[in-house]
Structure 1
Amino acid sequence: MARNERLIPASPERVFAVLSDPDSYGHWVVGSDTIRDADPEWPRVGARFHHRIGVGPFKLNDHTEVIAMEPDRHLELHAKARPLGTAHVVLDLERRGGGTNVTMVEDAGDRLTKLVFNPLTHFLVRRRNDESLRRLEELAVGR
């Protein structure tokens, strides 16, 4: 499991506004290339956005679905990048002072992906998610 935290100098409402905009994921999620389409009810439970991930000529199309959501506090996602695997991602927002402590936990989203999640994979995912949370902060503070 990869666990990251970041104190963002913006309110939980501002951070959640970024998470509620499916087009923002193309910017703040490292490895995401473009958002191809999104259900209009995003981020309600069951809603999806369809994305392209990868670098250079190596691109995959798949989708991310909302598993659970509590406005301004919690977002749980099932992100797919098949055939590479799936991820279970939880974002918890907690008001702290004038900002928001964001905790992001990412783990394998299915049994097959768990076979390749090892200490090195978790380390690399933590590094990637450090940068993702930095980009999330950039968007939340800029709103």
Structure 2
Amino acid sequence: MPVAPGDVFDVLADGWLYALWVVGASHIHDVDDTWPSVGARIHHGVGPWPMTLHDVTEVLAVDPPHSLELRARSWPVGSAWIRIALQPGEDGSTAIQMSERVSGGPGRLLPDAAQKLLLTPRNNESLKRLADIVVGRADADRQTHG
């Protein structure tokens, strides 16, 4: 992304934006005041209405503006471990790596290769959505503040 890691992390740190970039998250009900500190949660819906499941995503580790590690629950389906790592480029850009694996529930029985096959397209789309938000905010900020 053609923005600094801090700009990307600012979007990750706004829990109310989570459903805008995370594929599958459909509605934010509440965000803990301490988000994105360790233990803080986003209370959200997953899936389409009227079959929306209500659950939480919790911060497991955070190192602003370098990384955010989460546990996303979606019971009875299961839970997932997610890590978003931000690497600054020499030109002021940011490379983003999103890692995910099923960590609980029936999906945990899937081999790693099958999990990767299922999760990679969703994560790629989530990163595209995240980029649109981050770059759009940066463009709007440049237009507003010159």
TM-score (norm 2): 0.88
Is 1:51 aligned with 2:37? no
Paired residues, what number?
Answer: 136
Asked if the contact 2:102–2:115 (Cα under 8 Å) also holds between the matched residues in 1, the reply is no
Shift, 1:117, TM fit? 5.1
**Distance (whole Å) between structure 1 residues aligned to residue 74 and residue 105 of structure 2:** 14
Q: Deviations over 1:121-141 (max 9, x none)?
A: 421210011110000001111
- 1:3 match: none
Of Structure 1 and Structure 2, which has the larger fraction of its residues in helix? Answer: 2
For 2:97, the aligned partner's letter is T
TM-score, normalised via structure 1 length: 0.89
Q: Is the Cα contact below 8 Å between 1:53 and 1:81 reproduced in 2?
A: yes
Partner of 2:95: 101
Shift of 1:118: 5.0
| Distance in 2 (alpha carbons) for counterparts of 1:19 and 1:109 | 21
The runs of 5 or more residues in structure 1 that have no matched partner are: 1-7
Higher relative contact order structure (alpha carbons within 8 Å, sequence separation ≥ 6): 1
Identical positions, percent:
41
Task: Show the counterpart of 2:5.
Answer: 12
SS of the aligned residue for 2:47 comes to: strand
Instruction: Determine whether 1:133 maps to 2:130.
Output: no
Stretches of structure 2 that go unaligned for 5 or more consecutive residues are 138-146
> Which residue of the partner structure matches residue 122 of structure 1?
116
The residue number in structure 1 matching 2:74 is: 81
Query: Given that residues 108 and 117 in structure 1 are in contact (C-alpha distance below 8 angstroms), is that contact kept between their aligned partners in structure 2?
Result: no
* Deviates further, 13-22 or 48-57: 48-57
1:64 equivalent to 2:57? Answer: yes
Higher Cα Rg: structure 1 or 2? 2
Aligned with 1:43: secondary structure? Answer: coil
- Distance in 2 between the 1:129 and 1:139 partners? 15
RMSD: 1.4
- Read off the aligned partner of 1:39 and give its amino acid letter: D
Moved over 6 A (4+): none
Using the TM superposition, give the Cα deviation of residue 55 of structure 1 relative to its aligned residue in structure 2, in angstroms. 1.8
Question: Quick check: which one's strand share is greater?
Answer: 1
Q: Which residue of 1 is the match for residue 18 of structure 2?
A: 25
Paired residues of 2:78 and 2:105 also in contact (CA < 8 A):
no
Aligned partner of 1:42 in structure 2 is 35
Deviations 1:104-127 (A, max 9, x none): 000012264311355344212100
